[in-house]
Chains A and B, each alone.
Chain A
């Protein structure tokens, strides 16, 4: 029962991450969603920092810096600019049947915890449950992408999914190899740019960012 203090802090951060993912799932306003995303990045950074300090692993310090720059500053900044340019500041969308979605998310948490249990026992890190939480964040972000209709929210879901993956890596194996991490970071950055361009294209074509319009692209016989 007595986990060392560091383990407890990591657990706390994991709990906060789970809370943030749930908040993102329920959040209707785009701007708040981006703020939540930035917060998620910040918690992630803090978590990595804690792990890095305790284990004295120098490559983790790099990923701390990378995280801080990319996920707390750059990506939210790009997203906010995007929202400004697209004039979506006040945009709020209806999130279908919220109680149902929430229940599904709870089921996902339970599921992912039970799936992750054997793996995290193998991993032998300080904390057992964090892998389950990481997996749950990935799945819930996925759920968020499914339930949203607006493209920007979907992108945030995608990015938050990446955050979940990163957290999984930190909690299971204390970070990925540097090369992989850099690669992913670059990917995410580029993906965001591409999405940004894509949004403008969508809007020019349909006058809206509602992705239901994409259904119209299908050939009709």
Chain B
């Protein structure tokens, strides 16, 4: 069945020559919907494997669809359907670059992501992985005339390749002397713990480079703002998840044994990433950079879940591992939904206003009611508020954290709860970030005159965002039904089923392990809140009929006020800047009070860039200068080198 979808993407890509973006993006949207259905259907099925006649001679491509890949196909389908519909409107109205090229790369990008998800041998996986990286690179530099965008693309390419090398090495370790690169062979490879650890670490680095784990996150805040909005939506919403998929595949499927410290490592890196992302997101002044850092935060949360699942699984507490894994997967899907939604919303805002800086937006709720309302749903969901979907995964994650004291390791018993507190801080900070994002963009007074002419998004854009928002709401309200659908994944990956706890109470109540432990019911939340609002509203109207009047804002009787008196994005982030100063590299200049023309400027840079990347780059420079010594440019000299090498090799062999 999944042939159909793959074929569709495959077909749509090369045939593309027409001028009509609309047609092709709509087609790919249908493809996305088909993929959604395929993914949903595939969740319940057992793995289906197949050998393709493609590829090199003697090295055919193996493909396999199991519940885990089905889940990620579902994720890809849902998000890509929305992005495609959005693009149909976005690119039609002329958003950057040569539309035909964009269309081609876009579809290659989508198709390669599907390939990554279904690959069953390292060879196909790497081919798909690389084509995904290249396609997304070209999409990032759609506006290649801008130097900054070229730079962002370059950084992305470098980090992506570093990651690819690490993944390749990880696969090399995994096959360990069998010289067959199918995943099946890797599953059966008798790997010692030491080699397993090496493979895990390499995979963590390799997939971490793509996902944006802490020291390797550097490309994300550069590349996301550079790309056109639908592309950033796809990269942030879906491509990051393929890295999570890879990590899950390697650590739970290909590696048969786990050691607890891998989990602890993943947990620590995840928490650090999440915290870092949250703090940096709070101080950003560019819409898309803010969302990029928020992606880093969410990826950190996801990695935290992976780490927790690994720890539980290493101690053979499979049920708890299943809870942690459920939280992880749920959060993957959630993040794909709301982050895509928010990136599309920024796309709509940029289209309408031509502004990207938060300091120049404001008050758009009056001009763009549709975008504002849909973005509000995304905002509430990403801030982890009930009864929307973001809260479900966070709740599950907290529950699995709370179950950690059952671990038979007293050090972990005491350290992991402190990690919980860090997670709580991250969640609360993400609320801060999202209030800032929504408040500064959509609420208050417009900060620029030109904003008064902003227009609401077109039909295609609204449909795309509405589709994602609807998923956010549905996933938030009936998590039990969805978790039941995910159950085969848990059976496959950690050998435990959540059925018992999910069936223990009615479909309205989510429970982590047992109803006595904890339960949560979003439906009741929604019903009671709506009931109180309706009853309260009606009651108030009935008994207290009062009129409503419009007047100038009260503002403590201050009288004169203009748009520049509101908090800017910078002002809103100021307390965070002050408190978490240690983690930021601040470059701030305060004007003196007597300055007749006061200017204030403050710039925040990533300290990791300065402390890690710049020294490394210098080192590489120096090393390459050393290599440069042996280069003379004369062909004879090079021939001598080859000759010597040949001799050396012969000597080695003999």
Contacts and interface: CB of A to CB of B under 8 A. Distances in A.
Contacts of B414: 110, 113
Interface string A98-135: 00000000100010011001000000000000000000
Nearest to B418: A106
A110 B417 CA distance: 12
B415 interface: yes
Nearest to B411: A114
Nearest to A97: B582
Interface residues of A, number: 6
Contacts of A110: 411, 414-415
Contacts of A113: 410, 414
Contact of A114 (B410, B418, B582): B410
Contacts of A97: 582
Interface string B579-593: 000100000000000
A97 B414 CA distance: 23
Interface string B192-209: 000000000000000000
Interface string A129-156: 0000000000000000000000000000
Nearest to B410: A114
A117 B418 CA distance: 21
B261 to A, nearest CB: 16
Contacts of B582: 97
Nearest to A110: B414
Interface in B389-414: 410-411, 414
A110 B411 CA distance: 7
Nearest to A109: B414
Interface in A12-53: none
A110 B418 CA distance: 11
A172 to B, nearest CB: 19
A95 to B, nearest CB: 16
Contacts of A117: 410
A138 B411 CA distance: 20
A85 B70 CA distance: 78
B422 to A, nearest CB: 11
A113 B411 CA distance: 9
Nearest to A106: B418
Contacts of A106: 418
Interface string B415-453: 100100000000000000000000000000000000000
A117 B411 CA distance: 11
A18 to B, nearest CB: 14
Nearest to B415: A110
A114 B418 CA distance: 16
B226 to A, nearest CB: 36
B544 to A, nearest CB: 50
Contacts of A114: 410-411
A120 B582 CA distance: 40
A117 B414 CA distance: 14
A78 B418 CA distance: 40
A99 to B, nearest CB: 9
Nearest to B409: A114
B311 to A, nearest CB: 17
A129 B415 CA distance: 17
Interface in B572-628: 582
B367 to A, nearest CB: 44
A138 B414 CA distance: 20
B443 to A, nearest CB: 33
A110 B414 CA distance: 7
A13 B563 CA distance: 58
Nearest to A103: B418
A43 B410 CA distance: 28
B412 to A, nearest CB: 10
A114 B409 CA distance: 10
A113 B410 CA distance: 9
B499 to A, nearest CB: 32
A90 B411 CA distance: 41
A140 B614 CA distance: 38
Nearest to A107: B415
Q: Point out which of B414, B415, B418, B582 has the most chain A C-beta atoms below 10 A from its C-beta.
A: B414
A158 to B, nearest CB: 28
A114 B415 CA distance: 12
Q: Point out which of A97, A110, A113 has the most chain B C-beta atoms below 10 A from its C-beta.
A: A110
Contacts of B418: 106
Nearest to B414: A110
B578 to A, nearest CB: 14
A97 B580 CA distance: 12
B477 to A, nearest CB: 39
A98 B410 CA distance: 26
Interface in B176-198: none
Nearest to A99: B582
Interface in A52-101: 97
A6 B432 CA distance: 48
A97 B418 CA distance: 19
Contacts of B411: 110, 114
Nearest to A100: B582
A169 B415 CA distance: 28
8 nearest CB pairs, A to B: A110-B414, A114-B410, A114-B411, A110-B411, A110-B415, A117-B410, A106-B418, A113-B414
10 contacts: A97-B582, A106-B418, A110-B411, A110-B414, A110-B415, A113-B410, A113-B414, A114-B410, A114-B411, A117-B410
Given A110-B411, A110-B414, A113-B410, 7 more contacts: A97-B582, A106-B418, A110-B415, A113-B414, A114-B410, A114-B411, A117-B410
